[in-house]
Structure 1
Amino acid sequence: MKDLDKIDRKILNLLQFDGRLTNAELAEKVALSPTATSERVKRLTRDGFITGYMALVSPASLGLNLLVFVEVKLDRTTPDVFEAFATAVRRSPAVMECHMVAGGFDYLVKARVAGMEAYRQFLSEVILPLPGVRETHTYAVMEEVKSASRLPI
């Protein structure tokens, strides 16, 4: 990974806070010319520091009021089962994140659904039929204390 200088870090922080900044606004905030700023953003993108831009949408406004975390334990931990599981979980739009973890279970799945009835359907139609699933444990979120998408730079 290439080293980031102070201006690169400032650009990344500013864009994490507001990805809709125009190049001119960004240039003004980092005290560079618009051309130099644009070149830095292109380099940061090319080098993989910036991977995309998106709008953050309120889950509640879409009726997705229940956030759940599901621990998934597989029946076998072999490369073919891992690959089949990962391929299948990527297809589900309700799954926001899925991480292979070390410890007492194999995957941690984060999903948003409308409510408990929708979760029961999600569990029986999406999670349990996934390849290799032996056991699950679900944690329904009662209060979201902190949810951040910005990285410390």
Structure 2
Amino acid sequence: MTVALDGFDVKILRTLQENAALTNQELGEHIGLSASQISRRRQRLEQEGVIRCTRVSLDPDALGLAVIAYVGVTLGAHSRENARRFREMVTAMPEVQEAHTLTGDVDYMLKVVVKDLKALSRIINDELLPHEAVQHVRSSIAMETLKDDNLLPLS
């Protein structure tokens, strides 16, 4: 369901995407609304699910998480039960930053962040491949990150 947004809402969202730590006062000064107007709009955007949460963006390298891998997973048998079990496993893994169901040759694509290749090997060989629903796993390691801002394109 698409939520109706006016120009001020879009400005609020665009600004918060860049810096979610801004207070309502600071945000209001930037956009041209009072802090109370910002507060009401922000609360409405949260209640309507447009703003899902507020997060801090951490630097993986600074935390010793040097390997980013994209792991394609193909299930052996496609059933609701296999998909459910796989989904439960993946959502419980803190190393999996993103998990997407895909069309085409691969059923799932996982973005995995770990400290080294040994940790990636452990995830693939000890967690993914032994899972009863998994038939095939294929990984690609990111050599360099060119863009990682996760900012949605707001018009």
Question: TM-score normalised by the shorter chain: which range applies?
Answer: over 0.9
**Structure-1-length-normalised TM-score:** 0.96
Return the alpha-carbon distance in structure 1 between the equivalents of residues 101 and 136 of structure 2: 15
Return the alpha-carbon distance in structure 1 between the equivalents of residues 137 and 19 of structure 2: 38
In structure 1, what is the equivalent of residue 147 of structure 2?
146
Where structure 1 has 5 or more consecutive residues not aligned to the other structure, the ranges are: none
Secondary structure of the 1:73 match is strand
- The Cα offsets for residues 3-27 of structure 1, whole Å up to 9 and x where unpaired, read as 2110000000010000000110111
In structure 1, what is the equivalent of residue 54 of structure 2?
53
Give the counterpart letter for 2:23 in structure 1.
T
Return the alpha-carbon distance in structure 2 between the equivalents of residues 131 and 86 of structure 1: 13
Give the counterpart letter for 2:58 in structure 1.
V
Q: Please give the residue correspondences for 1:25-40 in structure 2 after superposition, counting only pairs within 5 Å.
A: 25-40=26-41
In structure 1, what is the equivalent of residue 129 of structure 2?
128
Aligned residues: 153
CA contact (8 A) 2:3 2:50 kept: no
Q: What percentage of aligned pairs have identical amino acids? A: 32
**Structure-2-length-normalised TM-score:** 0.95
Give the counterpart letter for 1:129 in structure 2.
P
In structure 2, what is the equivalent of residue 15 of structure 1?
16
Where structure 2 has 5 or more consecutive residues not aligned to the other structure, the ranges are: none
Secondary structure of the 1:151 match is coil
CA contact (8 A) 1:84 1:131 kept: no
Secondary structure of the 1:99 match is strand
